[in-house]
Structure 1
């Protein structure tokens, strides 16, 4: 199944494109997390087995935490990613693109008991194939979705810059073009950055490196990064 893109608009009028992950990469990420959890349970069973009946009680507590707390804790504390999702470049986000919270993560993982029915995640697979953004039932109920993390290449991202409001209101397509420039600036040579910034000189009133910095500052403002 081909991955699709969900486009949402922020209150500032910025169009965000969320590349939804299909069932295949999600299944691979789940298998990685399953292997990690099995390894943790296996190691714990050997350690707690030395403690006799007291160890059995501790083992059952750990088993519950690993099976149910593992995905919730990682998604809520690790920017929507479990180790398996991070390995596959996936992330859980809210339906509006915001970071996933504790309640949403708990709800989507609790619904796995339904997605697994009648066996082999049949309900979850059927739902993801029918949904335009490949959401399983848990994602639909929790209003979340799994997306591909944008490839920043060697860990690079949008160059840091202080936020600055644009001098005039921008149309949605102009906002999208400006944000796209900022997100791809790290892939361009300084000369190419200045060349493109020169096209936007009527907006920024600047040329050269100063014009590039001004465009990056406006992009930060459009993305809601006011600090």
Structure 2
């Protein structure tokens, strides 16, 4: 089964593509985290061995805390990623793309008990293989999604024009067209830039200020968040 894409729209009307992670990378991330927890427990058990029953009791408490709070703390405080997930380039987010919170993280991790049934995460594996976004039962109930962390991309190389705020809101298709024009502007002759600018209808009603291709470049710089 191939990974798919999930499109979400932020409150700022920006469309974001989320790529859910499949079974194999999630399983590898789990093994890495399990190895880290095992290493911590093995180290602590040696240190507490000399305390007898008292040390054994402390070790049981630490094992409980590691099992149930290790993933929650990392998911909420470390941008949705335990060390295992981070090493595999994964992160947990809400299904609308926002950062996961305490409630959702607790829910998805407490329901690992259901995902583990009948043994070796049997229910969780079946759920991920049957769900188009590879969600286990805990993810479905908590409204979370495990995705690939996209590498942060630099702003596109646009011409150095002063940003211009549009007089009226621009639809998504127009915004994309403006940014695409600005990205290609350096490969176009000035005459071709002005020719393309003449095809934009709202420039004819533009207020005083830069016109033509210069105005398009200024609008594009505003759309990508550049400042002078």
With the length of structure 1 as denominator, give the TM-score of the two structures: 0.77
Give the deviation of 1:218 after TM superposition.
2.1
Match of 1:218 among 220, 223, 226: 223
Distance 1:119 1:50, change over 3 A: same
> Does 1:40 pair with 2:44?
no
Q: Out of 10-19 and 135-144, give the one that drifted further.
A: 10-19
Matched with 1:116 is: 116
Give the deviation of 1:30 after TM superposition.
0.6
Matched-pair contact (CA < 8 Å) for 1:93–1:145: yes
Give the deviation of 1:61 after TM superposition.
1.3
Give the deviation of 1:90 after TM superposition.
0.4
- Helix, strand or coil: the match of 1:16? strand
Distance 1:32 1:211, change over 3 A: same
Give the deviation of 1:108 after TM superposition.
0.3
> Does 1:14 pair with 2:14?
yes
Aligned equivalents of 1:86 and 1:170: distance in 2? 37
What RMSD in Å do the two structures reach over aligned CA positions? 3.2
With the length of structure 2 as denominator, give the TM-score of the two structures: 0.76
Please list every run of 5 or more consecutive structure 1 residues that lacks an aligned counterpart in the other structure: 182-190, 222-227
Matched with 1:135 is: 135
Q: Out of 166-175 and 23-32, give the one that drifted further.
A: 166-175
Match of 2:186 among 189, 195, 202: 195
In our comparison, the structure showing a higher alpha carbon Rg is 2
Distance 1:132 1:55, change over 3 A: same
Cα shift readout 1:187-215 (whole Å, capped 9, x = no counterpart): xxxx967538996977895868x947x63
Give the deviation of 1:28 after TM superposition.
0.7
Distance 1:133 1:57, change over 3 A: same
Aligned equivalents of 1:94 and 1:171: distance in 2? 26
Aligned equivalents of 2:31 and 2:173: distance in 1? 40
Q: Out of 64-73 and 120-129, give the one that drifted further.
A: 120-129
Aligned equivalents of 1:107 and 1:119: distance in 2? 20
Please list every run of 5 or more consecutive structure 2 residues that lacks an aligned counterpart in the other structure: 157-162, 204-208
Matched with 1:101 is: 101
Aligned length: 203
Matched with 1:172 is: 172
